[in-house]
Structure 1
């Protein structure tokens, strides 16, 4: 009876955490749209409570618009903006912030609900504290990122700050997913294979670097610098990769170098996942492992195709925004599939106690 109650409690908390994972995915995608539409500087103040409501009349809209007119982004890039144009970019930044507030409420109310219902076990308390600290850290990083673009001679949010914000969001997502899996995956669903787990870890660490460069690509709109494939502006190794001085700046500021690295790592990950899959199909693992081992390969193939499409079509219309966001979504799903595999593949047997 007690074991059944413990199981039901874990399942309820896990469902709440999985709902949080879905909300985090939406939030990251909203962040991608906000960046690619250059909407991040449209709201120049941080009002955690009163900022929930958007402008409700023409006078309030003009106040917001006038504040935006003091940014260098407006002065040097969007000086031809009408109020209608401003409302478009304002919406995405407002939606991004409002969804973050909604996530905070879902996590907070869920936490107190399970606390009152006494459905938290002692071993859950520590992970929940970490979860809330990660959420608070993410909000602070988000505002620091916005502030980085509200300074003289800056027309965009800094791509380094953007990458930090993006990686912190992914850290929060991965931690929430891992926590949910720890409450929902049974010990008898774990596959033991030291070699495959090692390969999974290697892919995960390569993916970590790739995601940083994906953020650089988005932050600098680097796709438009070389909208060609398979070569980069007609060259396999572009001459302009070493244009910046000192040389290390090319790795973080040179659009061509960043795209070259991003493409190269994509090919490495694709080959690595193919190797991983052919290893996986030779392993007699659990039913859960057998049913899910194809998923990472499907995601990485779709991701590479989307990446090529995003680059090639980036100069036309809003393709960079919508293909870019689709590319980001599949990147998140691939990351989650690797986190899932890391969880269900262990080097040593799981303690069943």
Structure 2
């Protein structure tokens, strides 16, 4: 159904863009929980009561004892004292509570808009989809954490992490597209079928690249090779197909995953440069084309800095900046695709 634009949509647009900003923060908090190993620190899922952290020392000790029962504590963090546990607990608690806050920020204004009759029929179905995607993301997050609460797994599977990450980006993509439909009038778009097709290819490759970014984070694959432009001194690194099968190597082998992640980055940079050149004849695309080129170059630069400083430990600041620019690039290319019509 085509969404109708009108002047009364301003509050809804602000609401949606607020949601976009909050989803970005949530994804970055997810990155912190992964890189700090905090994701399994809270061993229970209490959607309402879980909003409060342990309120006294006995409650903290009880939570710590539950954490001691899982493999991550026994084989990775057995040296932890209560203060160490509180540190990782904080990041997972903040990640979960920010998700709760997003739910409130989406639900309360939605009810207000319904009561004030600011939402017309054309918006109902997209908003239902929006809430379903949000609920699905929360469910995936808990299933992912639950899968790691055992005596065998040291961390949550990087495959499940990638699913959780991409579900969040799917929600980000959908919310942004919805906001663009309400905020950009048709006369500001251009008829450019070839550019639209190219942006589609770029978004497809970027989706694959972001999946491999999640694999990189989930497996700490940057630690396998902290050199650039070569990988451990080789353009075609040794050990890329040593896991016993092609599918196994491209999804579990650290060196192979880093090789693919780098290769996709170079390919995306080339395609965006081509898109930049081809879009120069459309004045409506001046802003988005400049931002797209700038962001992809910054993204590659931050990726290089992250890898080159990952000889012992992945640098949290560079990694988060790299993740942020990846999301920013996704949003810019969604914006670019929206501005080009068939």
TM-score scaled by structure 1? 0.94
C-alpha deviation, 1:148, in angstroms: 1.7
- Indicate if the aligned counterparts of 2:5 and 2:183 stay in contact, CA closer than 8 A: no
| Alignment deviations for residues 137-173 of structure 1 (CA, whole Å, 9 cap, x no partner) | 0001001110121123100011000000000000000
Partner of 1:346 in structure 2? 341
Tell me which moved more, 98-107 or 191-200: 191-200
Name the structure 2 match of 1:210.
209
Q: Deviations over 1:205-244 (max 9, x none)?
A: 1101101000000000000011111111111111100110
Structure 1 unaligned runs (5+)?
348-353
Counterpart selection for 2:322 from 316, 327, 336: 327
Counting matched residue pairs gives 339
Write out aligned runs for 1:117-196 (5 A).
117-196=116-195
Rate the CA distance shift 1:6–1:246 in 2: closer, same or farther, 3 A.
closer
The root-mean-square deviation of aligned C-alpha atoms, in Å, is 1.2
Q: Report what 1:336 is aligned to.
A: 331
Give, in whole Å, the separation in 2 of the partners of 1:292 and 1:249.
38
Name structure 2 gaps, 5 residues minimum: none
Determine helix, strand or coil for the equivalent of 2:6. helix
Matches within 5 A, 1:49-68: 49-68=48-67
Q: Could you tell me how far apart the structure 2 residues matched to 1:322 and 1:192 are?
A: 41
Question: Could you tell me whether the CA contact under 8 Å between 1:191 and 1:346 is conserved in 2?
Answer: yes
State the distance in 2 between where 1:330 and 1:173 align: 14
2:69·2:151 contact (CA, 8 Å) conserved in 1? no
Matched residues in 1 for 2:251 and 2:22: separation?
A: 30
Give the CA deviation at 1:292.
2.5
CA change 1:297–1:113 in 2 (3 A) is: same
Determine the C-alpha separation between the residues in 2 that align with 1:85 and 1:322: 20
| 1:299 corresponds to which of 295, 308, 311 | 295
Residue number among 282, 285, 288 corresponding to 1:284 in the alignment: 282
Q: Any idea what SS the aligned residue of 1:239 has? A: coil
Deviation at 1:56, TM superposition (A): 1.6
Give the aligned partner of residue 196 of structure 2. 197
1:175 shift after superposition: 0.1
The answer to whether the 8 A contact 1:9-1:120 is kept is no
Q: What's the secondary structure of 1:294's corresponding residue?
A: helix
- Which is worse superposed, 53-62 or 302-311? 53-62
Contact 1:192 1:285 in 2 (8 A): no
| Aligned: 1:313 with 2:309 | yes
Kindly state the Cα deviation for residue 315 of structure 1 after the two structures are TM-superposed: 2.9
Asked if 1 retains the 8 angstrom alpha-carbon contact of 2:302 and 2:318, the reply is yes
SS at match of 2:315: helix
Separation of aligned partners in 2, 1:148 and 1:158: 8
Deviates more, 1:148-157 or 1:303-312: 148-157
* TM value normalised by structure 2: 0.97
Distance 2:283 2:195 in 1: 11
**Cα deviation digits, residues 78-103 of structure 1 (max 9, x gap):** 00001111111000000000000000
Alpha-carbon distance in 2 for matches of 1:130, 1:277: 33
Q: Structure 1 residue 322: deviation in Å?
A: 1.7
Structure 2: how far apart are the matches of 1:112 and 1:218? 38
Aligned-pair distance for 1:192? Answer: 1.3
Structure 2 Cα separation of the partners of residues 248 and 106 of structure 1: 41
Question: Residue 194 of structure 1: CA displacement?
Answer: 1.0
